[in-house]
Chains A and B, each alone.
Chain A
Amino acid sequence: MKNKIKNDLILVGVILLLSVLSFGIFKALLRPGNSVVVLVNGEEKHRFSINEDLEEFIVTDGENSNTIVIKDSEVWVVHASCPDKICASHAPIKNEGEAIVCLPNKVVITVTK
């Protein structure tokens, strides 16, 4: 009986430790995402897997455009019709929650779960 309580206590201890450890690990890492979501003026227009290479031309309103590339599980903008080209100079993104914004064209490229 005593032994059983002891075993239970050890089990409780191990699980508590595991939970604390997993919490720590989750916290420490930037999590690579699975999907690339393209929003135009706040609305989702395209969704791609980040793990499939792709070159896509996105028309926002017939005049403006942003060209994105997905390669090696990263996404970035290679060309944009906007005047400032800030989006096209942004580093590739790959982690959950990261985003590239093209303000003039109202385009957001973001990586999600």
Chain B
Amino acid sequence: MKRFISLCQIIFLLFCALALSGCQRQEKFSNYYFEYFDTVTTIVGFENSKEVFDDNCAKIKEKLAEYHRAYSIYEKFGNEKNLCYINENGGAEQVDKIIIDLLLYSKEINEKTENKFNIAMGSVLSIWHQYRETGINEPAKAQLPELSALQEAAKHTDINKLEINKDNNSVRFNDALMKLDVGAIAKGYAAEEIAKWMESENITGYLLNLGGNVRAVGNRADGEKWKIGIENPDTLDKENPYTAFVEIEEESVVTSGSYQRYYLVDGKKYHHIIDGKTLFPADKFLAVTVICKDSALADALSTTLFTMDYEEGAALLEKLNNAEAMWTLVSGEQRFSSGFGKYCVK
């Protein structure tokens, strides 16, 4: 009898131990979507059943579709006054609030980064976009844009010519040749807004990944933090597929790299992150990873730091005091901001 009681105690304590080590009944599920922001969206989450998870994903998809349509600069959707429409018409009245909010926030970051982050670079970026598309789809026709054409376009990139009126939700370009390109912030801004909405709806224990723009929405149900492997930008180094592992709970991790969107001209790579000064692809780093709470800021900063000198970028981060970064130099060497280490594991 005594022995039976202690056996019961052991079993009971084992249950406690299992509970303490974080074993719960919720399972991990994931879904992949290709419809949004010209990239792959991954949703990972812990739920009791696939049905509940799919149900939540369907709600998240509705939000993704809404942001995707509003922020598209390449495609119009019916009568919607999205950014493509605004670019073609040099502005618009009664624009959706999610566009006004994005533009106002982009202006704010423009000021904080002393014009290094600039969504009014569209006229320059659209030239590169066109040449890159041709170069990828028809490699035999791959060419570089003329510097003179880029310089001419660069005359129309003054963000102060972008007039936003939030009282009547209108946007106006005071330069007819100016174009907006929100490619360096739209995904992050959408991820952040969707994450906040999920928190308000109690959909937590999820990880949103919009093409490398990662935002954790609450801790994993198994008690662990989300572990993110930062891909090695040197894709030929098969022995070291990751340059770092970081752990996050509520934060966002965004990497800008020159190793994914590029095209070749005479064997040389020309990627998609354009330096506002040279008007050519920035050539200081292979990748820059930013971690901070706000996914929109993380997105904007990763691109901005990619075009700045390391010293200049590190000083900017010290000043902002709410973001950390890891730079991978062209030599493969790494640099870290002062607080990046606290996220690293292994």
Contacts of A27 in B (CB 8 A): 224, 345
Contacts of A92 in B (CB 8 A): 238, 241
- Does B137 lie within 8 Å of A108, measured CB to CB? no
Contacts of B22 in A (CB 8 A): 23, 26
- Does B223 lie within 8 Å of A23, measured CB to CB? yes
Q: Is A59 on the interface with B (CB-CB < 8 A)?
A: no
- Does B260 lie within 8 Å of A12, measured CB to CB? no
A19 and B40 in contact, given A26-B224, A90-B235 (Cβ under 8 angstroms): no
Chain B binder among A48-56, A65-73, A81-89? A81-89
Q: Is B89 on the interface with A (CB-CB < 8 A)?
A: no
Contacts of B20 in A (CB 8 A): 16, 19-20, 23
Q: Is A62 on the interface with B (CB-CB < 8 A)?
A: no
Q: Is B177 on the interface with A (CB-CB < 8 A)?
A: no
Considering the complex, give the chain A residue whose CB is closest to the CB of B9: A8
**A27–B18 alpha-carbon span in the complex (Å):** 15
Contacts of A108 in B (CB 8 A): 32, 40
- Does A93 lie within 8 Å of B241, measured CB to CB? yes
Q: Which residues of B8-39 have CB atoms within 8 Å of chain A's CB atoms?
A: 9-10, 13-14, 16-18, 20-22, 30-34, 39
Q: Is A22 on the interface with B (CB-CB < 8 A)?
A: yes
Q: Encode contact with B along A7-29: 1 for CB under 8 Å, 0 otherwise.
A: 01001100110111011001110
Q: Is B232 on the interface with A (CB-CB < 8 A)?
A: yes
Contacts of A97 in B (CB 8 A): 44
CB A22 to nearest CB in B, in angstroms, measures 5
Considering the complex, give the chain A residue whose CB is closest to the CB of B19: A19
Interchain CB contact (< 8 A) of A19 among B18, B236, B260: B18
- Does A12 lie within 8 Å of B32, measured CB to CB? no
**A75–B16 alpha-carbon span in the complex (Å):** 38
**A28–B22 alpha-carbon span in the complex (Å):** 14
CB A110 to nearest CB in B, in angstroms, measures 8
CB B56 to nearest CB in A, in angstroms, measures 15
Q: Is B136 on the interface with A (CB-CB < 8 A)?
A: yes
Contacts of B13 in A (CB 8 A): 11-12, 15
Q: Is B346 on the interface with A (CB-CB < 8 A)?
A: yes
Interchain CB contact (< 8 A) of B39 among A12, A19, A41, A103: A103
**A7–B120 alpha-carbon span in the complex (Å):** 72
- Does A42 lie within 8 Å of B9, measured CB to CB? no
A15 and B16 in contact, given A39-B32, A42-B32 (Cβ under 8 angstroms): yes
- Does B236 lie within 8 Å of A89, measured CB to CB? yes
CB A109 to nearest CB in B, in angstroms, measures 11
Q: Which residues of B263-280 have CB atoms within 8 Å of chain A's CB atoms?
A: none
**A11–B16 alpha-carbon span in the complex (Å):** 12
Contacts of B136 in A (CB 8 A): 83-84
A23 and B229 in contact, given A11-B10, A91-B238 (Cβ under 8 angstroms): no
- Does A28 lie within 8 Å of B238, measured CB to CB? no
CB pairs A–B below 8 angstroms (23 shown): A11-B9, A11-B10, A15-B14, A19-B21, A20-B20, A20-B21, A27-B224, A28-B345, A28-B346, A39-B32, A42-B33, A42-B34, A86-B260, A91-B235, A91-B238, A91-B241, A92-B238, A93-B241, A97-B44, A98-B229, A99-B42, A101-B40, A103-B34
Give A residues with C-beta under 8 Å from B: 8, 11-12, 15-16, 18-20, 22-23, 26-28, 39, 41-42, 83-84, 86, 89-93, 97-99, 101, 103, 106, 108, 110
| Given A23-B20, A41-B34; 7 other pairs, CB 8 A cutoff | A11-B9, A11-B13, A15-B16, A16-B20, A39-B32, A83-B139, A99-B42
